Amino acid sequence: MDDDWLVRAVDDRRVELVNQRSGDLALVGLDHVYGYDSNPQRDTDAIKYGFLKLHVEVTLTGRDVRIEPLPSPKTERGVRFKPLIVRDGNTERFFSWRDRDPIHLVRGEEPPRQLLEFFVPLCDALRTDAGKEPEFNLPDDLRGEIVYELSPDMMAKWRLMGGSGGKPGKAILVLTSRPARQTSETIKSPRIEPVVRRVDLEYPSRSGLQGQLEADGYRVTWRRDDKPRDDDAKPVVIDDDGEEFVLKVKDPHSPLTLFKKRLR
């Protein structure tokens, strides 16, 4: 993810950089800066934009800020990658991470790709090759090295998304420091709470959802959130292209949630 950083302060030893999205602070030595290019196309009356050229890479891991040295710009040519190659049908796909290759030299980061059911053979290959356990983490809570897919010419990279059992997901594949488990075991995925979708009281019958659930043997009712009941009823969860929703209605006293209960 490309973020804007604000140069908050500069002295004779260091530069203070503040991430405009997360608020994280990075302290970079003045000797880490070797150049600056302006970007007047983005300038406003209050803020001037540009590109700060560094000898280090600043990375947000979700919990802290990591600063690591980069090779000199003159030494990037001729760097060889040895990616993990995993076959997907008749196609060879290439994967790597920081401990395996100088992944930071691949400047072209494309939008993330969904792994879908390919996560199973890929995670098995990661366990066998790296001897470490892969898992899916939420983007703001990364607890391992990000696994990237690389283009065949090693000029572009993609983060890999999943964590929903082979369906589209929002979590990022990482390689942890834990020893690998036996292959083909289910990898750990973060629990993602369903998103609230606001509807009206007639939505279940108007959309056909109520008729479908009743045909499957359920009774469908609206329940107040401030008066939970101790029974076997469960909220109705809708899967919309990999994203889960619960249905709620605004009420002057308490929000209403749509529940289903199997008829005996």
Q: 122 lies in which domain range?
A: 84-179
pLDDT, tens only, 71-85: 655 445 556 789 999
pLDDT, tens only, 213-222: 888 888 999 9
Q: Indicate whether 66 belongs to any domain.
A: yes
- Domain-ending residue, one of 149, 179, 209: 179
Pairing state of beta strands 218-224 and 148-150?
unpaired
Shared domain for 150 and 208, answered yes or no, is: no
- pLDDT band at 252; cut points 50, 70, 90: confident
pLDDT of residue 73: 53
Q: Indicate whether 77 belongs to any domain.
A: no
Asked if the model's pLDDT at residue 57 lies above 80, the reply is: yes
Using CA atoms in the order 146, 97, 16, 23, what is the torsion angle rounded to 10 degrees? -10
Q: Indicate whether 184 belongs to any domain.
A: no
- What tokens appear for 252 in the block? 């002057």
- Domain-ending residue, one of 179, 206, 224: 179
Q: Indicate whether 187 belongs to any domain.
A: no
Q: What are the φ and ψ backbone dihedral angles of 86, each rounded to 5 degrees?
A: -125, 130
pLDDT, tens only, 27-37: 998 888 877 88
Shared domain for 171 and 204, answered yes or no, is: no
Q: Indicate whether 232 belongs to any domain.
A: yes
Shared domain for 106 and 36, answered yes or no, is: no
Asked if the model's pLDDT at residue 162 lies above 80, the reply is: yes
Burial pattern 77-111, b for ≥16 Cβ within 10 A else e, equals eeeeeebbebeeeeeebbbbbbebbebebbeeeee
pLDDT of residue 75: 42
Contact indicator for 60, 20 with CB cutoff of 8 Å: no
- Domain-ending residue, one of 46, 70, 94: 70
Shared domain for 16 and 91, answered yes or no, is: no
Asked if the model's pLDDT at residue 1 lies above 60, the reply is: no
Shared domain for 133 and 170, answered yes or no, is: yes
Contact indicator for 175, 131 with CB cutoff of 8 Å: no
Asked whether the whole model's pTM tops 0.95, one would answer no
> How many domains is the chain built from?
3
pLDDT, tens only, 83-131: 999 999 888 999 999 889 888 888 788 999 999 989 999 999 999 999 9
What is the CB neighbour count within 10 angstroms for residue 63? 11
Q: Indicate whether 148 belongs to any domain.
A: yes
